[in-house]
Amino acid sequence: MNREPMRHDWALDEIDALFALPFNDLLFRAQSLHRQVFDPNAIQVSTLLSIKTGACPEDCGYCSQSARNDTGLQRENLLPLAEVLQAAASAKSCGATRFCMGAAWRNPSDRNLDRVIEMIRGVRELGLETCVTLGMLNREQAGRLAEAGLDYYNHNLDTSPEFYGEVITTRTFRDRLQTLDHVREAGIRMCSGGILGMGENRRDRCSMLRELANLPHHPESVPLNLLVQVEGTPLFGTAKLDPFEFVRTIAVARILMPRSHLRLSAGRSDLSDEAQALCFLAGANSIFYGDRLLTTDNPQTGRDLGLFQRLGLRFEHITESAGATAAACCKSADSQG
């Protein structure tokens, strides 16, 4: 077990030097650290559901759900509780251990928060971990979510403070840090990461990782998304990031935050199986699993199960027999759909 104290004082040049290592040296270093802390063949799986879709007042340049982006997305009000619980039960039967609910809000109203709290309670009763991403939270709202037993709150920094203004103007980088403070102070585990491939440069990638690693506590879960380019968003048509640079970013994140789960998040549909395997080698140990992310496609479950089998990977926290049942159930669902 790695007993080194966690660092929260990374300098940009040190991070840049990690990025500049020869690829094999960087991956060896990240994988060596990874296996001191984690089972290198176990992957945590979360399933996403959009519980309120579209018509969002924010102007995030990557997002299909901003009212300012003409993406043709069908808006949907907050889903009824029964529909959410049905989706959660189905995710569980396919092997997911965490259910993440996302809402296209700048911040939740107190009335909507009451309804989300009912969802959190119901999903927990099904025996799943819970995560929600609802936008900005004040201190009191974070306290109410903690009281409801919420396990994780997802709120991403998205990019570096330097590049941030190119992507979002309706809320500041500081606002995001403040929500993370409220989440941490309420005792909820933090899920926070960002998006790569938005036209940022390597220095920005270093700077985003530095912000995450230098937080008072490393987020327990760090989602690294590869931009899903959605037609009608300002970022559609951005030059694609070299997959090796994405793998490097994961490896550097692993070195900076050795005890965090790193999630290979949105964008897996654009990565080859071989690139995903390199991401796991670099220290990614979590994925979004299920045919949909929030509004865009994710690899089909059958395909993921096949990849896991080829790589000898298994689902974290579920027994082998439960895994085999889930695999059979999802493969047959895929072949029918």
* Binding footprint of ligand SAM on the chain (CB under 6 A): 62-63, 102, 104-105, 133, 135, 155-156, 158, 195, 225, 227-228, 230, 266, 294
Applying CB under 6 A, the span of 141-149, 231-239, 293-301, 309-317 interacting with ligand DTB comes to: 293-301
Which residues share a beta bridge with 191? 154, 221
Kindly state whether residue 226 participates in binding ligand DTB, applying the rule CB under 6 A.
no
- Answer with the entry of ligand SAM, ligand SF4, ligand DTB, none that 155 interacts with (C-beta below 5 to 8 A by kind): ligand SAM
Please identify which of the residues 29, 60, 94, 210 carries the catalytic annotation: 60
> Chain-centre distance of CA 280, in angstroms?
15
Note if 329 is an active site residue: no
Question: Minimum CB separation from ligand SF4 for residue 71, in Å?
Answer: 11
Which residues share a beta bridge with 262? 222
Residue recorded with tokens 């609802």: 134
Question: Minimum CB separation from ligand DTB for residue 264, in Å?
Answer: 11
Question: Minimum CB separation from ligand SAM for residue 277, in Å?
Answer: 21
Note if 206 is an active site residue: no
- Answer with the entry of ligand DTB, ligand SAM, ligand SF4, none that 66 interacts with (C-beta below 5 to 8 A by kind): ligand SF4
Q: Rounded to an integer, what distance in angstroms lies between the CA atom of residue 262 and that of residue 282? A: 10
Environment class of residue 275 by beta-carbon count within 10 Å: exposed (0-12), middle (13-18) or buried (19+)?
middle
Please identify which of the residues 94, 144, 176, 191 carries the catalytic annotation: 191
Kindly state whether residue 133 participates in binding ligand DTB, applying the rule CB under 6 A.
yes
197 dihedral zone (left: phi>0; alpha: psi -120 to 50; beta)? left
Q: Rounded to an integer, what distance in angstroms lies between the CA atom of residue 304 and that of residue 323? A: 13
Angle at CA of residue 76, ends 128 and 122, nearest 5°: 20
Active site residues: 56, 60, 63, 100, 131, 191, 263
